[in-house]
Amino acid sequence: MMNKFKDIIKKIVINIPNILLKPFRNINFLASIFAILSGILVGFLIMLIVNPPYAGGGLMTILFGGLDKGLSGIGDVLIFAGPLLLAGLSVGFAFKTGLFNIGVSGQMAFGAFLAIFVGVKWTFLGDYQWVVAVLAAILGGALWGLIPGLLKGLFNVHEVVSTIMMNWIAVYGAFVAYKAANLVGGTTQNAQKVTSTGALPSWGLDSLFNSHNIDIGIILAVVAAIIIHIVLNKTTFGYELKAVGLNKDSAKYAGINSKRNIILSMVIAGALSGLAAATLYLNVTGATYKIETYPIEQGFEGIAVALLAYSGPLPIIASSIFFAWLKVGGDQLSGWGYDPNIIGVIVSAIVYFSALSFVFRKVVKKIFKKQFGGEIV
């Protein structure tokens, strides 16, 4: 009896390294790690060229993110991560179904407009104001995704072209819309802030992370990622979506209605973008929607987030937190006399190296074979 028990314990203990090492046997994971390290190396080299003595300190600041500020620093990371996660999820989900959604930015913008409208004006909703505002954001994003979805599904208009156009319609439409709806804040180019009941609640996260800016945005984002993971991998709907994405012809052969799936896929991607806007702008003291001639940058950072995570909904959680981590660290770079925009260079370099991942895959496979003598998948 005792021996049996010992055996089981032994087995578990022996397997612990295997379980922990599992991701390291995954080629995508390793390639992403290589891309990240190379990107950070590029950032370090730039700092080394600009101002050599402080490069080491700068690098540490980037790597430690907000850690030196303690829990509130981690809170800052999570605040940044929420919208990035959802933007990445929007791109990743569409990509898994064979669509390249460049229009996250525009979808976010229209979602933001409806959310801010509800969050500012519909105070009569009381404690439910933020809930309706979130739903409005989702609806707005979904509508903005529906249009390219219809164009693609019915007329085979390429979604890259139509989503980019939708971005610019959103950007310039905002000038008209916010004025007409009387939502421009004061004399600035900013939209008005939502009321306290229109803002996302924090459900105790504020005291946990000792930060009054944090809200449930990150929770909404993680829940969305889990739901998308389940939809894609466990449901018949996900099976159809992936079938259409991987091979449109066989999906057709199998009797799957690819038009319907393309349209639905864009609507869901848009809805996720809308939710991203909600987590970004539904607050009293945090980020503010700016009525200006640029698309929302998080919409494009979402592409990087999804790319690094190979579009997997759960890996996107990790990659968005990682990018947010870099951002928080980067904001403190000025302490060493560096421009925080170095982070932008690092992120771009990581994207670049991810795109070159096939080179890494080869290198990684070779190294792995030499070091461990095993194959990796």
Partner 1 sequence: MEYIIEMLNITKKFPGIIANDNVTLQLKQGEILALLGENGAGKSTLMSVLFGLYKAEEGIIKVNGKEVKIESPNDANNLSIGMVHQHFKLVHNFTVAENIVLGIEDTKYGFVKMEDAIKRILELSDRYKLKIDPYAKIEDITVGMQQRVEILKMLYRHTEILIFDEPTAVLTPQEIDELMKIMKNFIKEGKSIILITHKLNEIKEVADRCSVLRKGKYIGTVDVKDTTPEQLAEMMVGRKISFVIDKPEQKLGNIILEVNNLTVLSNYTHKPLIKNTSFKVRQGEILCIAGIEGNGQTSLVEAITGLNPIHEGQILLNGEDITYQSIRKKTLAGIGHIPEDRHKHGLILDFSLAENLVLQSYFKSDFQANGFLKFNAIDEHGKKLIKKFDIRSGQGVKTPARSMSGGNQQKAIVAREFDRNPDLMIAVTPTRGLDAGAIEYIHKQLIELRNQGKAVLLISLELDEVLNVADRIMVIYEGELVAEVDPKTTTENELGLFMSGSKRGILS
Q: What is the binding site for partner 1 (CB under 8 A)?
A: 234-237, 239, 242-243, 246-247, 249-257, 375, 377
Q: At 124, which helix (H) or strand (E)?
A: none
Q: Which is nearer to partner 1, 26 or 257 (CB)?
A: 257
Q: Which two tokens stand for residue 255?
A: 């009797």
Report the nearest approach of partner 1 to the CB of residue 237 (Å).
6
Q: Which is nearer to partner 1, 252 or 361 (CB)?
A: 252
Q: Which is nearer to partner 1, 180 or 377 (CB)?
A: 377
Q: Which is nearer to partner 1, 176 or 230 (CB)?
A: 230
Report the nearest approach of partner 1 to the CB of residue 304 (Å).
24
Q: Can you spell out the DSSP letters for 42-58?
A: HHHHHHHHH-GGGHHHH
Backbone phi, psi, residue 157, to 5°: -80, 130
Alpha-carbon distances of 111 from 68, 93, 195, 282, 348, rounded to whole Å? 35, 18, 17, 11, 27
Is residue 308 within 8 A of residue 31, CB to CB? The reply is no
Q: Which is nearer to partner 1, 97 or 332 (CB)?
A: 97
Q: Can you spell out the DSSP letters for 236-287?
A: HHHHHHHHHHH-HHHHHHTT--HHHHHHHHHHHHHHHHHHHHHHHHS-SSS-
Q: Which is nearer to partner 1, 76 or 240 (CB)?
A: 240
Report the nearest approach of partner 1 to the CB of residue 371 (Å).
17
Please provide the distance, in angstroms rounded to a whole number, between the alpha carbons at the two ends of the chain. 39
Beta-carbon contacts of residue 149 (< 8 Å; ≥ 6 apart): 159, 262, 263, 264, 265, 266, 267, 270
Q: Which is nearer to partner 1, 219 or 256 (CB)?
A: 256
Report the nearest approach of partner 1 to the CB of residue 88 (Å).
21
Q: Which two tokens stand for residue 261?
A: 């799936």
Report the nearest approach of partner 1 to the CB of residue 246 (Å).
5
Q: Which is nearer to partner 1, 69 or 361 (CB)?
A: 361
Going by the DSSP 8-state scheme, the letter that residue 158 receives in this structure is -
Q: Which two tokens stand for residue 120?
A: 């500012």
Distance CA 313, CA 308 (A): 11
Which residue in this structure is represented by tokens 């590029």? 42
Report the nearest approach of partner 1 to the CB of residue 375 (Å).
5
Report the nearest approach of partner 1 to the CB of residue 264 (Å).
13
Report the nearest approach of partner 1 to the CB of residue 358 (Å).
16
Amino acid at 306: A
Q: Which is nearer to partner 1, 108 or 251 (CB)?
A: 251
Distance CA 124, CA 126 (A): 5
Backbone phi, psi, residue 337, to 5°: 85, 10
Report the nearest approach of partner 1 to the CB of residue 238 (Å).
8
Is residue 275 within 8 A of residue 144, CB to CB? The reply is no
Distance CA 358, CA 370 (A): 19
